[in-house]
Structure 1
Amino acid sequence: MSKKVKEIVRTNSIEQVRYGCAIGALASVSAIPHAMPITHCGPGCTSKQSGVLMSNGAQGGGYSAGPVIPSVNATEKEVVFGGEEKLRELIKGTLLIVKADLYVVLNGCIGELVGDDIGAVVKEFQELGFPIVHADTGGFKGNNLIGHEIITKAIIDQFVGDYTGEKEEKLINLWSEVPYQNTFWRGDLEEIKRILEGSGFKVNVFFGTESKGVEEWKNIPKAQFNLVLSPWVGIETAEYLEKKYGQPFLHISTVPIGAKETSDFLRKVAQFSGRNKRKVENFIKKEEKRYYYYLDTFSEFYAEYGWSVTSLYAVISDSTYGLALNRFLADQLGLVPAIQVITDNPPEKYRKQINDEFKNISEGISTKVEYAEDGYTIDEIIRNTDFQGRSPIIFGTSWDRDLAKELKGYIMEIALPVSNEIVIDRSYVGYRGALTFLERLYTIVTATDTKVITS
């Protein structure tokens, strides 16, 4: 293969994918308790998307995911003659066989390209009183993070509907990590809800075991405000809710890890809401007492062995965990960032803000940021990074294990795909998640048998 052909291949393909396509938002639907996705797409789309996302940490999808998801399984016939009738029959069968509180029909590339009006088909069932909505999530719309917000707005528009009642003080709508895309989303959302409720707030969390399912979605318009806790995912949803229900929103770009970030986060929420300032301070005092007790005992180990552990690291992850980890590693652990590779392809309009965040991750500390989705490109970026002859710590994915071995470094898997881990309810955020993170990190870097082990 000539150099020119290799370059064409490099710029037009993606090796080692680290996200799904827009219809991968079926995982977000599955993460809503007692919600069922229905897909209008080709036979491979549903299985591939659920396979990629739900094998991330061996999470599994439970009630309404994986092989359970009903699909049109469109063939050449539907491409030529349209698939509306087949979708209609699929919805009828699903309503008959599968019990759910909400059904979400996701349109894939075939349906969108041939012009199937899935909205008209779904409307027939909506008029009969069934809790069902539709969303256009063809793969060409973007990745599953884009699809996540498409289905979120579809549910709000078609299922939650209009509202002109009173707002409920101290009630927050939380928009943060994308289910299944973020390996630790279950435990993370649980910890975020815990610290907010411990500070006197009530929280609609929408996804995972802490959610009450459609009841919480129906309560969206009643919230005092929306909280977007991520660099960019959720902003469009919050802007939409601001227009629809007149709800303000607070955008905090960094998911908090460790006492400093978490306490700052809670104070920002209290200041924005104008409520619970005293209760927030009491909660912070209690949590920091526990946190620093354990950190103090850990410091004995750190003081004795920490000097022998490399301080240089690289993070290869989506922007949500990338920014959060850098804040914790550089500002609270004193490690030195060498490079940050962001893999979730944030829209261009958000990249300047993300770059600015990385310019000030700690006092006097910034890190170089690269945006890359292709595994070959990511490998080249890391290989060309100056680690000053040391063995770096790579915070990345299962794809990056061979690269860490090549660099004689350490690997901690923190982003999709995590193929060597069982993740049930583990969290790395908040006060408690940070302690878990420290346990995992220093178990890895002090291992004597091999540097490249699972996290």
Structure 2
Amino acid sequence: MLGKLNSNEQTNSIVHPRYACAIGAAYTVAAIPRGIPLVHCGPGCVDKQYFILSYNNGYQGGGYSGASVIPSVNAGENEVVFGGAKKLDDLIKSSFKIMDGDLFVVLSGCIGELVGDDVGSIVKKYQKKGYPIVFAETGGFKGNNLIGHEIVTEAIIDQFVGEYHGEKEKGLINLWTEVPYFNTYWRGDFIEIKRVLEGAGFKVNILFGSESKGVEEWKNIPKAQFNLVLSPWVGVKTAKHLEEKYNQPYLHIPIIPIGAEETTKFIRQVVDFAGIDKEKAEEFIQKEEDRYYYFLDHFSDFFSEFWFGLPSKYAVIGDSAYNIALNKFLVNQLGLIPVKQIITDNPPEKYRQAIQEEYKRLADDVSTEVEFVEDGYIIEKKLKESDFGSSTPIIFSSAWERDVIKELKGLIVEISCPSSFEVVINRSYIGYTGALTLLEKIYTTSISNGV
């Protein structure tokens, strides 16, 4: 794999991968309640996706249809030589008999696509009989699991949701935000985003996780007033597709809100776009801000006592969604000084300039630069070359950076895939409530390490 680092550096390999390949989007399917992924690939492919996206990423578990539950063709030499169409057909038949699901998604890997298996014609045979099944071409050479995520969402929209020419429901939103499993804290974050939007007066098709109604919500996608993309780039392609298919507008907010200031700004931006009554939203904002600042008022006693020994400079190494969000929070809420920012999820070139612009306006008087680097060796090198001064740096990163952070005598808060030293159930670091949890994490880490 060729990893593009920046305009001056390239590598023909990637040390310490921070994402899976496109077929990792099996976990996009697994995140839909009663969604069943079926994979047409080799025996080790999806096993590897599980270990980086779930097991070594907060120990999230496989859930109803992930991990060892996923039916697979387990393609071998015979399928490479003679094709795997017959074996895939048998797998689909068996899965319908054994698996209890509302939506089945066949994801093809490198072997099936390279040998030319016509997965579409096999699946369409079952679609014509009324089975709830779709197919997505997710060979690893298509890109990483974030690219695969949007391949799968569009496949479900086109093949399962289908056509719609009815009315739109004012105040109903389709949410496109963090990538399930890949974003370590996605389950808690989805809960908080939905809570905030519903508190402001909206109904939300959350589509994934514990708050989703499963295929019922996916079928309701065309009825929504608009699509909300809460992400620097993932979801924009899907929203544009929905705009063309269902004549649905979309609102793109690149910064996931952390803390009262950003969350209140986020709510008002969505309310203004939707044109709904502002009264309920403002009442909700007032209630949430009162609670948020109540806790901050009590937290200030700790801060005033320990401020002289707490970290003042930081770095963020992680995917673009959490990277931008954390920088906004750390600068504006905590007054910390940004030293090094590295985005690791390989955003497409067309989105990079817009992402870079966000770092130039972190605050009225604070700007910084961001680099796009996938290679762990280069990341470690850049961290070692960074000037954190005499203070103890705090670095928000993946588990891969633990050794170099130890060398720097810094503190680590794991916020990005893979995360091997955090057990994550439904924790959130965003919104009003998640920001308080993040503060607890940052300063517990600080004082427990003798800062």
TM-score (norm 2): 0.97
**What is the distance in 1 between the residues matched to 2:191 and 2:394?**
28
List per-residue Cα deviations over 1:173-217 (Å, max 9, x = no partner): 000000000000000000000010011100000000000000000
Please state whether the residue corresponding to 1:367 is helix, strand or coil: coil
Q: Deviations over 1:42-68 (max 9, x none)?
A: 111011112211111011021100010
Stretch deviating more after TM superposition (184-193 or 295-304): 295-304
The letter of the residue matching 2:153 is T
1:304 Cα offset (Å)? 1.5
How many residue pairs get matched?
A: 442
1:389: Cα distance to partner? 3.1
CA separation in 2, counterparts of 1:377 and 1:370?
Answer: 11
Given residue 89 of structure 1, which amino acid in structure 2 is its aligned partner?
D
How far 1:370 sits from its partner (Å)?
1.1
Number of the residue aligned with 2:50: 50
Counterpart in 2 of 1:61? 62
- Alignment-mate amino acid for residue 278 of structure 1: E
Cross-structure match for 1:110 = 111
Confirm or deny: 8 A CA contact 2:146 2:234 kept in the other structure. Answer: yes
- The match for 2:210 is 209
- Are the counterparts in 2 of residues 331 and 362 from structure 1 also a CA contact under 8 Å? yes
How is 1:251-400 mapped onto 2 (pairs within 5 angstroms)? 251-400=252-401
- What amino acid does structure 2 have at the position aligned with 1:172? I
**Aligned amino acid, residue 28 of structure 2:** S
Q: How big is each residue's C-alpha offset from its partner over 1:6-39, in whole Å with a ceiling of 9 and x where there is no partner?
A: xxxx821111111000000001100000000000
Residue 28 of structure 1 is matched in structure 2 by 28
Distance, in Å, in 1 between the alignment partners of 2:54 and 2:394 is 26
Kindly state the Cα deviation for residue 397 of structure 1 after the two structures are TM-superposed.
Answer: 1.1
- CA-to-aligned-CA distance 1:364-389 (integer Å, 9 cap, x gap): 21122111111101101111111123
Amino acid at match of 1:33: P
Mapped contact 1:26–1:50 kept (Cα < 8 A): no
Superposed counterparts of 1:100-139, under 5 Å = 100-139=101-140
Q: Alignment RMSD, CA only?
A: 1.1
Aligned equivalents of 1:219, 1:363: Cα separation in 2: 41
Contact 1:107–1:136 (CA under 8 A) maintained in structure 2: yes
d(CA) in 2 for partners of 1:276 and 1:255?
A: 23
Aligned residue identity for 1:345: N
Q: 1:329 Cα shift?
A: 0.2
Q: Distance in 1 between matches of 2:29 and 2:449?
A: 43
Range moving further from structure 2, 364-373 or 18-27: 364-373
* Alpha-carbon offset, residue 448 of structure 1: 4.4
How far apart, CA to CA, are the structure 2 residues paired with 1:365 and 1:141? 37
Given that residues 173 and 226 in structure 1 are in contact (C-alpha distance below 8 angstroms), is that contact kept between their aligned partners in structure 2?
yes
Q: What whole-Å deviation, never above 9, does each CA across 1:377-408 have from its counterpart, x for those lacking one?
A: 11011111111233210100111111111001
Aligned partner of 1:13: which letter? S
- Deviation of 1:425 (Å): 0.5
Q: Normalising by the residue count of structure 1, what TM-score does the alignment of the two structures yield?
A: 0.96
Q: Distance in 1 between matches of 2:311 and 2:298?
A: 21
Aligned equivalents of 1:11, 1:366: Cα separation in 2: 29
Residue by residue, what CA displacement relative to the aligned partner does 1:279-311 show, whole Å, maximum 9, x if unpaired?
Answer: 111110000000000001101111111222121
1:17 is matched with: 17
Which residue of 2 is the match for residue 7 of structure 1? none
Gaps of 5+ in 1: 1-9
Give the aligned residue type for 1:15: V
Structure 1, residues 225-275: CA drift from partner, whole Å, max 9, x if none? 000000000000000000000000000000000000000000000000000
Aligned to 2:448, the other structure's residue is in SS state coil
Is residue 71 from structure 1 mapped to residue 72 from structure 2 by the alignment? yes
Off by >4 Å, runs of 4+ in structure 1: none
Q: Residue 318 of structure 1 aligns to which amino acid in structure 2?
A: D
- Is the CA contact (8 Å cut-off) linking 2:317 and 2:323 kept in structure 1? yes
Partner of 1:198: 199
Post-superposition CA distance 1:78-128 (Å, at most 9, x none): 111111111000000101110100000001011111111100000111111
Aligned to 1:6: none
8 Å CA contact 1:199, 1:276 repeated in 2? no
Establish whether residue 239 from structure 1 lines up as the match of residue 240 from structure 2: yes
Report the more deviating stretch, 70-79 or 200-209: 70-79
CA deviations 1:326-382 (Å, max 9, x no partner) are 000001110010011100000000000000011111112112211111110110111
Contact 2:62 2:68 in 1 (8 A): no
Query: Which residue in the other structure is 1:93 paired with?
Result: 94
Q: What residue number does 1:224 align with?
A: 225
Q: Which moved more, 1:217-226 or 1:272-281?
A: 272-281
